[in-house]
């Protein structure tokens, strides 16, 4: 069984659009480092791109510059590119079948946003029986304010990491993950 790295929604919307990622600093650099290390270690790389199908969508509208994957993601190789329309990367996509067809036995999560698509996908993978690693410094979020209240980016990110570690994932730093995939015997 092989591992897979899921690179979730690293799209321009989070850089030049309406939802700029603000925490943690360096998350994008760590996503790229994970993508660069994965192929040499035999880790399949799956890039996932979100499309908002709501009429008149303000974000992630297909065909807009903000919907596009970040250029650095496009420059890197991947084994599979999937489009999704909901927070969970397994919902309405061919991800589950692809993982089975390619003998994938574990999942690592990187990308945006920590509390939305990354968290949902990690939980879906866990529910399907996959061991999950959640990269603490290769996922990211922003501060949120809505009718339910407000939460700072750092607090939101930390809350999700603590919850993931409680049950759903092993939370790791990218450098440690890279060391583990390069030296699986250790």
Structure tokens at 123: 């939980």
Active site residue 9: yes
Q: How far is CA 78 from the centre of its chain?
A: 14
Pairing verdict, β 144-146 and 149-151: antiparallel
Catalytic residue among 9, 119, 137, 153: 9
Catalytic residue among 2, 71, 103, 117: 117
Structure tokens at 97: 């079948």
Active site residue 78: no
Q: How far apart are CA 181 and CA 96, in angstroms?
A: 22
Structure tokens at 43: 């880790």
Q: How far apart are CA 177 and CA 128, in angstroms?
A: 22
Catalytic residue among 84, 119, 137, 153: 84
What are the start-end ranges of the E strands in 17-169?
A: 44-50, 80-84, 104-112, 132-140, 144-146, 149-151
Active site residues: 9, 84, 117
């Amino acid at each position: 069984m092989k591992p897979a790295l899921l690179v979730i929604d690293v799209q321009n919307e989070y850089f030049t659009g309406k939802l700029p990622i603000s925490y943690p600093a360096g998350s994008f650099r760590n996503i790229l480092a994970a993508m660069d290390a994965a192929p040499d270690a035999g880790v399949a790389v799956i890039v996932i791109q979100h499309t908002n199908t709501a009429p008149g969508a303000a974000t992630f509208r297909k065909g807009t510059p903000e919907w596009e994957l970040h250029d650095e993601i496009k420059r890197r190789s991947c084994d599979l590119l999937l489009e999704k329309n909901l927070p969970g990367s397994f919902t309405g996509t061919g991800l589950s079948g692809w993982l089975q067809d390619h003998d994938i036995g574990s999942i690592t999560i990187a990308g945006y946003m920590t509390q939305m698509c990354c968290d949902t996908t990690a939980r879906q993978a866990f529910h399907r029986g996959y061991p999950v690693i959640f990269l603490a410094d290769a996922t990211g979020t922003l501060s949120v304010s809505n009718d339910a209240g407000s939460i700072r980016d750092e607090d939101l990110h930390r809350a999700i990491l603590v919850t993931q570690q409680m049950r759903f994932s092993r939370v790791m730093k990218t450098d440690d993950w890279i060391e583990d995939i390069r030296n699986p015997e250790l």
